[in-house]
Structure 1
Amino acid sequence: MDNAFVDLTGRIVIVAGAAGGGIGTSVTKMIASAGATVIAVSRSAENLNTHIEPLVAEGLSIVPVAADAGTDEGIATVIAAAAKADGTLYGLVNVAGGAAPGTWMPATRVTRSDWRDLFEQNIEPMFFMSQAVAAELKSRGLSGSIVSISSISGMNTAPFHIAYGTAKAALVAATRTMAVELATDNIRVNAIAPGVTATPASKSFVEEDSIRDQQAIAMGRRGTPEEQAGAILFFLSDLSSYITGQTLLVDGGLNLKWSHLGADHTSLFLKDEDFRAAMTH
């Protein structure tokens, strides 16, 4: 690679949740393109065939692994695959998680089962996968970087999605605590918090609406999986060698806009168009 700061040659990076066709697949391609050997993990062998095998066919160093990162058996399978791969274990990206459209509901209607299911999907795989990789790195005296995906819902309020938002907030807390514990082992732990991103999963319940996006997002558009992957690659690379315990919002400025701001970022309460024009020009 021309730029040593993003050169991952000789390093093994595990991506848990690699084959959904969204952020996980994009970051798998990007990491492998930076020279790493990627252990691409998915519960679905079909998804691996659909989204990962074409990347392997391109000549990228990717090892597809069908395993459930939410179970001890699945994690053991992943660690064993990493041990057999060419290179030195270095990184982990926790993508696995999410929430089905049916999980959106008022806080007053959330059941214990709803709550537990979303925590099981969004915090347990991240923590126990990170635990296993960190233990492996420590036992071998290796430095490393762990990056997980939270959500803007875990950094702010999550109306009508309280269990998901709280689980993603717990991921942020786990990231900070693990970062402290692992710092002296030279293992960095960070996270990103995506805003609205155009992935196959989000398209199943968020329709295209450019006017709405302009009203809600400072940059006026939804993000792409590649833009989220770029932030993850930054945390994996030596460009972020002095950063740990952080959660980076990658949201196009969604968190910056108040709900009463319009597409031109001025207050919707302003009715005097002359005043509005004088203020903005």
Structure 2
Amino acid sequence: MENWLSNKNIVIIGGTTGLGFSAAKAFVKHGGNVIVVGRNPENCLVAELQLGSQSRAKQGDATQPNTALEAIQLCIREFGSFDGLYHVAGGSGKKFGDGPLHQLTLSGWTNTLDLNLTSLMLSNQAAVQAFLGMGKGGTILNMSSALDFTPFPGHFSAHAYATAKSAVLGFSKSIAATYAPNNIRINVLAPSIIESPENKDQQIEEFISAKQTLNGGRFGLPADLDGAAVYFMSDMSKFTTGQILTVDGGWNLTEG
């Protein structure tokens, strides 16, 4: 297999579980070195053991200002350089009080935006500062959601989450335009509904089978995004910036 990421040193914020960990395995398989960042120390240990010598794991909270900066510094110390950032960290804010607007709490709003948007701003800022400081280009890949531009109120009415993920698109395009002259490219992946324990509901499963109709109708899997992530982190995408790739199993094409 061609090593698309040979000599690439990549930081994955939210890289010890789920989408991020799946991508980390793909990056290593394609010859890359990875720093994976996660909140849970046990997940960090497991990730580092499974990924092997081409990886290091760092415990950290993505919403804290120094987390991404320290991960990038670790990447440079361990592997000699820093070439790319993949920001995956984020998630549902329902436990904070996110939901339909008439039920949305202020805490739900602020915590969900911090988790999904502020964390991303901080990691992107640290990456851009590092690239500029080193006098080199690089690549940033951010995570949004197909729910941003094709919402479905029946099962997925979490308005703070939708706001945060929509803002990822505008933020990414804006910084992509600003830093293109510096050869820093910023792109976005937008998956639809990924398989998770909270989606284990018969009604949701039936809906997804009719909405995401590829491969017989199913939830997305973390590995479904790996090929796109490898592309954007590699030099194969060196003339691509400010783009949004939807990986949705047909979500945008059907009524469900």
Tell me the TM-score normalised to structure 2 length: 0.90
Aligned residue identity for 1:215: A
Post-superposition shift, 1:156? 2.7
Partner Cα distance (1:162, 1:186) in 2: 35
Deviations 1:123-177 (A, max 9, x none): 1111111111111111112111100111112223363211100100001111100
Q: For 1:130, what is the secondary structure of its paired residue?
A: helix
Post-superposition shift, 1:190? 0.4
Within 5 Å, give how 1:67-146 maps onto structure 2. Answer: 67-102=60-95, 103=97, 105-146=99-140
Within 5 Å, give how 1:1-281 maps onto structure 2. Answer: 3=2, 7-20=4-17, 22-56=18-52, 59=53, 61-102=54-95, 103=97, 105-157=99-151, 159=153, 160-198=157-195, 202-207=196-201, 211-219=206-214, 220-259=217-256
Post-superposition shift, 1:185? 0.7
Deviations 1:35-88 (A, max 9, x none): 1110111121111123342222xx4x0011112222123233212212202242
Per mean C-alpha deviation after superposition, the further-off stretch among 45-54 and 129-138 is 45-54
Partner Cα distance (2:163, 2:140) in 1: 21
Post-superposition shift, 1:191? 0.7
Identical counterparts, % of pairs: 29
Tell me the TM-score normalised to structure 1 length: 0.83
User: CA RMSD, aligned part only?
Assistant: 1.8
Indicate the structure (1 or 2) with the bigger Cα radius of gyration. Answer: 1
Post-superposition shift, 1:258? 2.0
Partner Cα distance (2:223, 2:233) in 1: 15
- Note if contact 1:218-1:256 (Cα within 8 Å) is conserved in structure 2: no
Partner Cα distance (1:28, 1:215) in 2: 31
Mark the CA change 1:204 to 1:18 in structure 2 (over 3 Å): closer, same or farther: same
Mark the CA change 1:148 to 1:197 in structure 2 (over 3 Å): closer, same or farther: same
Q: For 1:107, what is the secondary structure of its paired residue?
A: coil
Q: For 2:199, what is the secondary structure of its paired residue?
A: coil
- Note if contact 1:158-1:165 (Cα within 8 Å) is conserved in structure 2: no
Partner Cα distance (2:240, 2:94) in 1: 34
